[in-house]
Amino acid sequence: MTQLPLEFGFVPSFAPADYLVSRCNENAVAWVERWPDWPGPATAICGPAGCGKTHLAHVWQARSNAQIIAAEHLAAGDAAQLLQQSAACVVDGMGTGTLEGDAERTLFHLYNMIVERRGHLMFCAEAPPSRWPLRLADLRSRVAAAAVVTIDPPDDGLLETLLAKLFADRQLVVDRGTIIYIVTHMERSFDAARRLVDAVDRAALAARRRPSLGLVREVLERGVG
């Protein structure tokens, strides 16, 4: 019998100790550790979906007491209210769509406030600032001067560790042999790992089965991951 999976959700860990470091992201980690000795007020952390940009932003938040703001919330916000008393800020999800005029103006004021406070601004985005569809010329010129640090696609070792973490976040116990099998058969990307773990979790719940190698094979045969 198959049961309907219920949307209870889960909370991923963004603790600094849980951030996985490998060759693909070591430059980004080194940049965060270098703070506050950054050459300019803004940095853009760029990389594919699911690569850990948001997690790294939380690591920096723990060091800098930064405010974390989703780019999609800029239009409805006021720069002073969003930044509060902080001199550091993360804008997460930049470049995923065109910002409305109000959002661009809020971001422009936010940037200027950071500079006035001699603080720092971190952008998290899939694409570098040169590809963001910004209309406001003054904002575009400021963002273009941001330092760009890239997170590359994951290697085998990081994929194994990432999968183990994603399963653990959902309180699922999966043996290493199954994880190695996943790594050798999945699309090699951070986002694919996230989608696959979600699909295995749903399949296990629906079938009332543990996330075994057999179940993983079934999920992979359906083209997930």
Entry pTM: 0.79
The whole-angstrom separation of Cα 175 and Cα 58 is: 29
**Among 155, 137, 136, CA closest to 24:** 155
Q: For the residues 57-61, what does the mean pLDDT come to?
A: 95
Two tokens at 145?
């001067």
Same domain, 106 and 194: no
| Strand locations in the chain (E) | 42-46, 67-70, 88-94, 120-125, 147-150
From CA 53, how far away is CA 48, in angstroms rounded?
9
Q: Average per-residue pLDDT in the chain?
A: 89
> What is the per-residue pLDDT across 64-102, written as a single tens digit (0 to 9) for each?
999 999 999 999 889 999 999 999 999 999 987 778 889
Q: Is residue 94 part of a domain?
A: yes
Q: Is residue 129 part of a domain?
A: yes
Whether 79 and 187 share a structural domain = no
Same domain, yes or no: 43 and 105: yes
With beta carbons less than 8 A apart as the criterion, state whether 113 and 105 touch.
Answer: no
Domain hosting 208: range is: 156-221
150, 169, 185 - which closes a domain: 150
Structural domain ending residue among the three candidates 125, 150, 175: 150
Side-chain-facing half-sphere of 51: CA atoms under 13 Å: 27
Distance, C-alpha 158 to centroid of its chain: 15
Contact 200, 215 (CB under 8 A): yes
Check whether 27 has a pLDDT greater than 60: yes
CATH of the domain at 91: 3.40.50.300
The last residue of one of the domains, among 150, 173, 205, is 150
- Overall number of domains in the chain: 2
**Bond from prior residue into 211 cis (ω within 30 degrees of 0):** no
Do 30 and 141 fall into the same domain?
Answer: yes
- Using the predicted structure, report yes or no on whether residue 105 has a pLDDT greater than 90: yes
Same domain, 166 and 145: no
CA distance 107 to 148: 18
Question: pLDDT, tens digit, for every residue of 157-168?
Answer: 889 999 998 999
User: Token pair for residue 209?
Assistant: 């089965």
Q: Are residues 30 and 95 in the same domain?
A: yes
The C-alpha R_g of the chain, in whole angstroms, comes to 20
